[in-house]
Amino acid sequence: MMVDPYYRHVGRPEIRVDARDKVTGRALYVHDLELPGMLYARVLHSPHAHAEIVSIDKSAAEALPGVKAVLTGQELPYLLGLYMIDKPILARRKVRYQGESVAAVAAVDERTAEKALSLIRVEYRPLPAVLSVDEALEARVLVHEDINELDYVKGVFFPGPDSNIASWNRTIKGDLRKGFAAADLVVENELTLPQVAHVPLETHVAIAQADPYTDRVTIWTSTQSPFAVRNLVARAFGVSRRDITVMVPYVGGGFGGKAGIHLEPLAMVLSRACKGRPVKVQATREEEFNQLPVRAGMRGRVKTGVTKDGKITAMEIYFDWDGGAYADYGVNVGRAATYSGAGPYEIPNIELHSRTLYTNKVYSTAYRGFGHLETHWIVERQMDLVAQRLGMDPYEFRMKNILRDGSITISGERINAWSGRVDHCLEAVAREIGWTGYRSEAERQAAFQTGKARGKGIACLHKAPAMPTNTATAAIMQLDEEGNVRVLLGAVDMGQGVYTIMGQVAAEILDMPLEKVKVICESNTDANPYDWQTVASKYAFMGGNAVIRCAEDLLRQLKEVASRALHCPVEELTHGEEKIYHIQHRDKALTYRQLALGYAFGNGNAIGGPIIAHGHYIAEGLTNLDADGQGLPALDWTYGAHGVEIEIDVETGEIRVLKMASAFDVGKALNRKLCEGQIIGGAVQGLGSALVEGYKFTPDGRLLNPSFTDNKIPTAKDIPDQIVPILVENPQVDGPFGARGLGEHPMISVPSVVANAVYDALGINFYELPLSPERVALAIARHSDPANAGCNDPSNASAGRDNPDASGRHAASPRGETA
């Protein structure tokens, strides 16, 4: 493994600091915690996708010995929400999805709580449900009948009056009409993908202990967002942040699903109802699938205008998100699509509409990639579909339009020489998989006869953190009497390795052994410094800069004391090997240890004191998007590309991934092993979305696969034969040591690259996910059936060329090609 000789720690493949605790089972998670007098909660769920709650009788449940509280929405006049304030803690007056929490019981044990649930009588009056984006857009039925009265973050989100549109965000740049007029070819397509679950190993769990005499509450929770939980609990209940303590021990995976606020308010109101006894609310696996939020489904309609030589002249895109019953992060996912949703290409004229729609399904939230896997499913397939129509190599077509130094993004940002290089990533993966363009129809036929078709594909991607323009973080360091450094951060390590790389960054700046830097692996909002939340692949960048500044502050303080102790100016002091020393007379030196708690002269006089340093970082120079989606929302762009070679069993439809090469311009790999771990994990998670995963509902909106029996994710037997992570390092000048974020990116464009390879192998285009054996095999069977030869069945939405829906907006548009 390559290691930069210039750095002592940065870039080295250090083993993660939490590894030993986790593999030996000593790491404690909230599920492990038991407090004296603790009660256990269970939740009653709605059996209906959409229904009025006529009455709830909880008297029998309350009378059951051992039951300490039974709550329903009626007692809880609170509405929560990150951007749209739309979600009750327990359903009030009506239920909006099957699985929604209707009542909750706290009892002395789970068994009693479970028994009490069975005694609660709820009478529902079923209502017609909104179960597709089309039904949502029709707005004959409203998921939120009170949408006009809901509070929301104005100027950033745009709910539609008397509609199911939680937010309609748009980007308008250039002149769409002129752009299409300049095109030699216009290609239109529609692609969709279903809702998908995060599936963290650790399900959501929260324990709350509310003080019965004051507003004080302590919450232990499995969250990515301790400070956001503090903030949102304060807002929802109208209490001071002073009174809220959020504790986060180890977290067993989040993937975005544990960002924001989830079970904490319920635990809190139950604890209040139980006179302050701690109450634990832990999700079962079924609740994880069916009650807690998911990644939204989406339908994308895209229309691209190109010249004969392959320059894109215009794009029109509609992203319609099947967002479920509550807006949560969903509306911000929709908003992020407006500045990145056309892919890493220069598009001179664009109109992009991103509509987050309310439907009567389990609601959506952030999911690793924050909408980019979904938007790139549309646009990175479209790049191949357009190239096919042009008769051009999709590699060449991408390269002709790719963002480079001087390009302007769709939100009006100028890309510069230090922004990273998507072309380098695409080049690297194409080389790694031996890309030479699509195979010929004759080659396809020959391979098909063997029963195993092989194909290669490529796809690009980009993503910047989606966050407020003033997002901030901070770090604190303290020295002890041995000269060890304790680092306190606001971030949560749910598996990405942040504590390890921040230790490396600190040890690098302080020039000391890694073993002497202890990053505290627990978050406590009363002790740790502020961090907005651990999301958006932004912590390596922002936290790294804060830790660098913190370490520099520590050195400055050490030098100040050393300057007095050594009787020399601060300017003539430098540091190295855990010492502060004179730049010329190097024996004039004091160790960190001698200065850590204050310095004592020979006569006993003391100066200085315990050294405590801090550093912070706030996103600087970002601007809010205007009504046309123009502005500077991106702290840093991480570019990437995937190349894949697959083999398809043409009879069973099974896709085997022979090789997957994934390149990312990380600027500087702070820890090569962790970077490669992120890439491998993300690639496999992306393959889950590509090949296997997806929610299935009955016609009346009941989730059919709320368990591992039928909600499959890839196992060790399903991973590619070979995954080649490639780290491209064009430094980001304002990043820590040049680094950019990488956490989410590896799963973006994985479904696209697989479907592109499927086309190469079979000559069949797919427009829906997942590419399950069933979908692939049946499409092949139809394709090879002589009865279908030469025509594409318009009723077959999963395999056919250029298949815009013949209804609605597209009815007025020319299908496929225009002169």
Partner 1 sequence: MLGNFDYVKPKTLTEALEYLDRHGPESKLMAGGTDLLVLVRRNLAMPAHLVDVKGIAETGRLEFIPGQGLFIGASVTVNEVAGSEAVKERYPALAQAAGSLASHQLRNRATLVGNICNASPGADLAPPLLVFEAVVHMVSLLGSRMVPVAEFFTGVKKTVLRPEEMVIGVSLPEPPPGDRSLYLKQARIKGHDLGIVGVAARLTGEKRFCLAMSAVAPTPIRLFQLEQTLNAQPLSPALAERAGEEARRWIHPISDVRSSAEYRTHVAGVLVKRAVARLISGEGTYDA
Closest approach, Cβ 290 to partner 1, in A, equals 12
Q: Which of 52, 781, 805, 815 binds partner 1 (CB under 8 A)?
A: 781
Closest approach, Cβ 773 to partner 1, in A, equals 7
Q: Which of 552, 718, 734, 793 binds partner 1 (CB under 8 A)?
A: 718
Taking a C-beta distance cutoff of 8 angstroms, is the pair 640, 661 a contact? no
* 400 lies in the site for partner 1, by CB under 8 A: no
Per-residue DSSP letter, 440: P
- Give the whole-angstrom CA distance, residue 397 versus residue 389: 11
Q: Which of 773, 788, 801, 818 binds partner 1 (CB under 8 A)?
A: 773
* 716 lies in the site for partner 1, by CB under 8 A: yes
Q: Which SS3 state, helix, strand or coil, does residue 232 take?
A: helix
Closest approach, Cβ 41 to partner 1, in A, equals 13
> Which of 607, 562, 602, 604 lies closest to 585 in space, CA to CA?
562
Of 56-64, 81-89, 489-497, 769-777: span binding partner 1 (CB under 8 A)? 769-777
The tokens of 57 are what? 């009788």
> Which of 339, 240, 324 lies closest to 289 in space, CA to CA?
324
Closest approach, Cβ 704 to partner 1, in A, equals 4
* 453 lies in the site for partner 1, by CB under 8 A: no
* 111 lies in the site for partner 1, by CB under 8 A: yes
b vs e for 198-209, b when ≥16 Cβ sit within 10 Å of the residue's Cβ?
bbbebbbbbbbb
Q: Which of 449, 715, 722, 784 binds partner 1 (CB under 8 A)?
A: 715
Q: Which of 145, 481, 710, 721 binds partner 1 (CB under 8 A)?
A: 710
Q: Which residues contact 213 (CB under 8 A, 6 or more apart)?
A: none
The tokens of 78 are what? 């609170």
* 214 lies in the site for partner 1, by CB under 8 A: no
- Cβ atoms < 10 Å from Cβ of 118: 12
Q: Amino acid identity of 234?
A: A
Q: Which SS3 state, helix, strand or coil, does residue 56 take?
A: strand
Per-residue DSSP letter, 697: B
- Give the whole-angstrom CA distance, residue 670 versus residue 739: 7
Q: Which of 46, 332, 772, 803 binds partner 1 (CB under 8 A)?
A: 772
Nearer to partner 1, 607 or 704 (CB): 704
Nearer to partner 1, 110 or 734 (CB): 110
Closest approach, Cβ 648 to partner 1, in A, equals 13
Q: Which of 324, 714, 720, 804 binds partner 1 (CB under 8 A)?
A: 714
DSSP H/E element including 298 = strand 297-306
DSSP secondary structure, 655-669, as one string:
EEEEEEEEEEE-SS-
Q: Which of 28, 696, 722, 733 binds partner 1 (CB under 8 A)?
A: 696
Closest approach, Cβ 239 to partner 1, in A, equals 33
Nearer to partner 1, 284 or 469 (CB): 284
b vs e for 762-801, b when ≥16 Cβ sit within 10 Å of the residue's Cβ?
bbbbbbbbbbbbebbbebbebbeeeeeeeebeeeeebbbe
Q: Which of 32, 52, 57, 114 binds partner 1 (CB under 8 A)?
A: 114
Q: Which of 446, 607, 704, 811 binds partner 1 (CB under 8 A)?
A: 704
- Give the whole-angstrom CA distance, residue 618 versus residue 56: 48
Nearer to partner 1, 107 or 739 (CB): 107
Taking a C-beta distance cutoff of 8 angstroms, is the pair 15, 188 a contact? no
Closest approach, Cβ 718 to partner 1, in A, equals 5
Closest approach, Cβ 710 to partner 1, in A, equals 5
Q: Which of 74, 478, 705, 792 binds partner 1 (CB under 8 A)?
A: 705
The C-alpha torsion from 663 through 669 and 672 to 674, rounded to 10°, is -90
Taking a C-beta distance cutoff of 8 angstroms, is the pair 27, 87 a contact? no
**For 216, what's the count of Cα atoms within 13 Å in the CB-facing half-sphere?**
8
Nearer to partner 1, 603 or 709 (CB): 709
- Give the whole-angstrom CA distance, residue 167 versus residue 318: 13
Q: Which of 174, 777, 802, 816 binds partner 1 (CB under 8 A)?
A: 777
> Which of 442, 450, 449, 459 lies closest to 763 in space, CA to CA?
442
* 692 lies in the site for partner 1, by CB under 8 A: yes
Nearer to partner 1, 453 or 613 (CB): 453
Of 202-210, 231-239, 704-712, 797-805: span binding partner 1 (CB under 8 A)? 704-712
Q: Which of 92, 712, 809, 810 binds partner 1 (CB under 8 A)?
A: 712
Cis status of the peptide bond prior to 804, with omega within 30 of 0:
no
Nearer to partner 1, 300 or 720 (CB): 720
b vs e for 430-453, b when ≥16 Cβ sit within 10 Å of the residue's Cβ?
bebbebeebbeeeebeebbeeeeb
Nearer to partner 1, 239 or 777 (CB): 777
Nearer to partner 1, 405 or 710 (CB): 710
* 284 lies in the site for partner 1, by CB under 8 A: yes
Closest approach, Cβ 762 to partner 1, in A, equals 16
Closest approach, Cβ 709 to partner 1, in A, equals 7
Closest approach, Cβ 518 to partner 1, in A, equals 36
Give the footprint of partner 1 on residues 642-671 (CB under 8 A). Answer: 651-654
Closest approach, Cβ 148 to partner 1, in A, equals 38
Nearer to partner 1, 203 or 630 (CB): 203
Closest approach, Cβ 284 to partner 1, in A, equals 7
Of 525-533, 546-554, 708-716, 786-794: span binding partner 1 (CB under 8 A)? 708-716
Nearer to partner 1, 439 or 775 (CB): 775
Q: Which residues contact 395 (CB under 8 A, 6 or more apart)?
A: 426, 430, 435, 437, 458
Nearer to partner 1, 287 or 322 (CB): 287
> Which of 675, 655, 673, 674 lies closest to 663 in space, CA to CA?
675
* 721 lies in the site for partner 1, by CB under 8 A: no
Nearer to partner 1, 40 or 358 (CB): 40
**How many residues line the site for partner 1 (CB under 8 A)?**
27
Q: Which of 399, 778, 797, 802 binds partner 1 (CB under 8 A)?
A: 778
Nearer to partner 1, 243 or 654 (CB): 654
Q: Which residues contact 653 (CB under 8 A, 6 or more apart)?
A: 772, 773, 774, 775, 776, 777, 778, 779, 780
Q: Which of 55, 603, 709, 795 binds partner 1 (CB under 8 A)?
A: 709
> Which of 388, 389, 415, 412 lies closest to 402 in space, CA to CA?
415
* 121 lies in the site for partner 1, by CB under 8 A: no
Give the footprint of partner 1 on residues 800-819 (CB under 8 A). Answer: none
Query: Backbone phi, then psi, for 14, in 5-degree steps?
Result: -65, 145
b vs e for 525-564, b when ≥16 Cβ sit within 10 Å of the residue's Cβ?
beebbebbbbbbbbbbbbbbbbbbbbbebbbebbbbbbbe
> Which of 745, 731, 747, 734 lies closest to 11 in space, CA to CA?
731
Taking a C-beta distance cutoff of 8 angstroms, is the pair 703, 695 a contact? yes
Nearer to partner 1, 583 or 704 (CB): 704
Of 245-253, 427-435, 638-646, 768-776: span binding partner 1 (CB under 8 A)? 768-776
**Interface residues with partner 1 (CB under 8 A)?**
110-111, 114, 284, 651-654, 691-692, 696, 704-705, 709-710, 712, 714-718, 772-774, 777-778, 781
